[in-house]
Amino acid sequence: MEPYSGFEREIDIFKRNGIDGQVLLKLTKEHLAELGIGRVGVSIKLHKEVSLLKRLHLKPNTKKLFMRNPFRLIFGLFTFHWAQTSEVVESDAEKRGFDVRPPIPASIMYCFSAVACIFFMWALIISIMMIILINEMSDDKEIFVLINTVMSASSQNTSGRFFTLGMFFMSLPVGVYCLYNQDFGLERIEISQPDDLKTFALGICCATCILIALLWVFAWIFSIPRAIGIVYASKLKATEDDINLWIQSKKFFDQVENTSNNRI
């Protein structure tokens, strides 16, 4: 039996109208009705066959894929090659977004984003472990021993170091994304849209990129240093309060002592 037996009439219609190749892949049920193929059963079955041909045609690279070994799968955590296997697009469609950019910046963005996420994850894990350790202490004495004896100065700052490294590594992918994907996919809106709308969309994209850059600079130059400064301010304020309390207590005891001496 031939692959398309039962569609002899429809094949003749396709040949008479020059429907082949890319044109065949664009056929819809409405097009079939316009060609005179109106029988429901034939139309549905023929549309399924066309859809099958379209899937096979639009995914040529999928046939070349093979299962990677565990080492290449681990390496894929940093390269994100597995996230670049999609081919489900229309034959005349343009792939939009970051995948149309040069591959090297894309690899840099994915790799450093993964490294930053790993540092953030360990910072979170260590912080949670510290909370659990302190929560397991029975009294203030045990907490004091834990903080001052068991935990060295370096181990106390481990989570902070991981967090800082994560922020540092995240700076690069943010910059790469803004440089190579400044339109966020909005610049390539349909050609049929008014020019004013396209200009407005491009303006919004540029404003968003500028805002992201300003927020990142604000975080590094003002917000994070200010948070660190709060540590020193809190300690100085606590020390100042203790000194003032000690002065007031000393004055009170001096007054009590003077009063006692006068009575004597």
Does residue 120 contact residue 162 with C-beta atoms inside 8 Å? yes
Handedness of CA 99, 176, 110, 75 (dihedral sign): positive
CATH 1.10.150 spans which residues of the chain? 8-58
Q: Residue 83 burial by CB count (10 A; 0-12/13-18/19+): exposed, middle or buried?
A: exposed
Q: Which residues contact 85 (CB under 8 A, 6 or more apart)?
A: 61, 62, 65
Among the ranges given (40-54, 124-138, 145-159, 232-246), the one the predictor scored with the smallest mean pLDDT:
145-159
pLDDT score at 40? 65
According to CATH, the topology of domain 8-58 is DNA polymerase; domain 1 (1.10.150)
Bigger pLDDT: 163 or 23? 163
Q: Is the predicted pLDDT of residue 206 greater than 60, yes or no?
A: yes
pLDDT score at 91? 43
pLDDT score at 1? 34
Pick the closest to residue 200 from 187, 185, 190 (CA basis): 187
pTM above 0.75, yes or no: no
pLDDT digits over 48-68, tens only? Answer: 777 777 776 767 777 777 677
Bigger pLDDT: 261 or 188? 261
Q: Which residues contact 11 (CB under 8 A, 6 or more apart)?
A: 4
- Can you list the pairs that 223-230 forms with residues at least 24 positions away whose Cβ atoms lie under 8 Å? 224/167
Residue 171 binned pLDDT confidence (cut-offs 50, 70, 90)? confident
3-state secondary structure at position 45? helix
Residue 102 binned pLDDT confidence (cut-offs 50, 70, 90)? low
Write down the mean pLDDT value for the chain.
70
Residue 233 binned pLDDT confidence (cut-offs 50, 70, 90)? confident
